[in-house]
Amino acid sequence: MIIYIIEQGAILSKKQGKIIVSKNGEKINEIPIKKIDKINIMGNINITTPAINYFLDNNIEVIFMTRYGRYRGKLYKEEYKNVLLRLKQYEKSFDETFKLKMAKSIVKGKLKNYYDFLLKKQKYLLKGEISQEIATIRSIIERTTNAKNIDSVRGYEGMASKAYFNAFKNLIKNKNFKFEKRISHPPKDEINSILSFGYSFLYNELLAAINIVGLDPYFGNLHTVAISKKSLLFDMVEEFRNIIIDDFVLKLINRNEIKINHFSKQKDIIHFTEDGIKIFISKYENLLASKMKYHLDEEENYIRIIFEKQMRHYARVILGDEEEYIPFFRKEID
């Protein structure tokens, strides 16, 4: 069971085999401790020392986020670190040919997911409404194949993303929501806010998968390596953004499951309300409890398993056990 604690000022304590959530001396909830696999702490929430000790002794991961979903850190006893894998990963970080090839694969995978998504949605729109954007993305995929350096690959990715979000706004059918372009920091409208919120959750999922496999999240290929920048994490998120978050967000908005009153403005920045966060988390966990077909073996897996499988595929490419990295793409379940 994955638990989210969002009640500001709450305290987590351990008592008689249960985690107790309380506030101002009153019990809000209690969860059998044996059922807990992971805890997400969002905002100003305290944990007692006995509870912390239990989490450490039983390897229960505790993720700390801001109130609005941005990752801050985690509580853990120790991470699994595959030293031989990481040594090979460091070696590959100096191989410009390998990095360029990997960057191309990541971006082409991301853009193919964009292309397939828009092509599928096009049939519900007026003829030609997003045809130009689809054609632009298809053209950029071809140009990416011939890119001579990683800077060019990044440039193509930026161009295609601009075209994608220009088309994305036409897919929003809920008239209460307005969206012109993607602005990540800070989000100035509700659509940008929910996208950024969702991407933060996606980062947490992929970081967990990277750590399970034993990769170093700081050594990637597409994104620049810099102090405190998890370049590999940023790389690996790219191919899943559209498949996991964009499609999910679009459904929440168009089905009116998330409403305009689930957002509030603070200092010109749009954030989820607590009710909005609860709805998002509930729907998000339902999504991750569903299955998709993994593209490399045709098996149906829960999405978190797919994240881990894809990180293991990346690790095998790093080690030379597999020649080519193949980004994840959606395959329909029969």
- Residue numbers in the known binding site for Mn(2+) are 157, 223, 238
The order of strands in the sheet holding 26-32 is 26-32, 18-23, 11-15, 46-47
- Pairing verdict, β 269-272 and 263-266: antiparallel
| Tokens read off for 213 | 């496999």
Residues annotated within the binding site are 157, 223, 238
Q: How many CB atoms lie within 10 A of CB 107?
A: 27
Q: Give the whole-angstrom CA distance, residue 302 versus residue 291.
A: 4
The DSSP-derived string for 244-303 is: IIIHHHHHHHHTTSS-GGGEEEETTEEEE-HHHHHHHHHHHHHHHTSEEE-TTT--EEEH
The DSSP-derived string for 101-170 is: HHHHHHHHHHHHHHHHHHHHHHTTS-TTSSHHHHHHHHHHHHHHHT-SSHHHHHHHHHHHHHHHHHHHGG
* Residue in this structure with the two tokens 């700081």, named with its chain if needed: 218
Q: Contacts by 89-97 with C-beta closer than 8 Å and gap 24+? A: 89/215, 89/216, 89/219, 89/318, 90/216, 90/219, 92/219, 92/318, 93/219, 93/225
Q: Give the whole-angstrom CA distance, residue 206 versus residue 201.
A: 9
* Residue in this structure with the two tokens 């390998």, named with its chain if needed: 98
